[in-house]
A = this chain, B = another copy of it.
């Protein structure tokens, strides 16, 4: 079929469905969000939920190609789309999609995630970030950082995603802040303190003992040197700093290297501060990478 002028990109996760109506060049024309995440749906309910969510756009434009990605393609989603192994670019991703037709004749394309089978002890996985990387562009070899609950460091080489590694930084931060001994000592509502964040990064840079370093969130208070207002940002610096230290140890960069932050999780500026402190020359990519990448794979599928 001919590629329609407009397309729909659906980022369908555990707790929400976020959709964008995009034009020919990936520019966002409209967007919507519902709380119909996959955790609220049972098998057999996904198609109806999607048709309801997208009804305003289907009414206006008729059938449109739809790309769906995120946890919707996981084991607990609508259909499980197998991971495509690295190295992978748009061609490999398009080959790994799953397709079906919606009741109004729209093509629905499920985008796959990718895995890196070279990682130990098990292949590493991503589901969504690969599409951001494609949208960012693969024309230049590069090191990319995608901050998040489960941050990813990835290498682009010869037009494809060559490999990547996950760090559960955001997860550990949330656990510490919400459920640990640190939770009881932190100010409510939370305060962001850039200086305390940099302090935490600095401590993390010089510590090989993360399990011990985290206790400084308590001892700093006992010593009267870390206030409850500083605690949250200090701890965030500790864990993000450990991510950068450990990524360095794992060979992701040497001091003076360049890297690009590709993310839409609200953490880009924090990661930029960290990268500078660790001697990485870093820039932040545009925040429309997901739509652009999904469109690139969708086009390759439907052309």
Contacts and interface: CB of A to CB of B under 8 A. Distances in A.
A246 to B, nearest CB: 4
A143 interface: no
A223 interface: yes
A169 B215 CA distance: 10
A303 interface: no
A212 interface: yes
Contact of A122 (B178, B180, B226, B243): B226
B121 A203 contact: yes
Interface in A125-166: 125, 150, 165-166
Interface string A166-193: 1111011001101111000000000000
B169 A223 contact: no
Contact of A214 (B168, B176, B225): B168
Interface in A238-253: 239, 242-243, 246-247, 249-250
A224 B225 CA distance: 47
A167 B211 contact: yes
A150 to B, nearest CB: 7
B171 A212 contact: no
A101 interface: no
Interface in A30-48: none
A212 B167 contact: yes
Interface string A238-270: 010011001101100000000000000000000
A155 to B, nearest CB: 15
A291 B176 CA distance: 33
- By size class, the interface of chain A is 35 or more
A79 interface: no
A215 B180 contact: no
A249 B247 CA distance: 18
A211 B124 contact: no
A219 B121 CA distance: 9
A105 interface: no
Interface string A212-232: 101110111011011000000
18 contacts: A75-B222, A121-B203, A123-B219, A150-B215, A165-B212, A167-B211, A167-B212, A167-B215, A168-B211, A168-B214, A168-B215, A172-B211, A175-B176, A175-B179, A208-B250, A210-B210, A210-B242, A210-B246
Interface of A: 75, 119, 121-125, 150, 165-169, 171-172, 175-176, 178-181, 203, 208-212, 214-216, 218-220, 222-223, 225-226, 239, 242-243, 246-247, 249-250
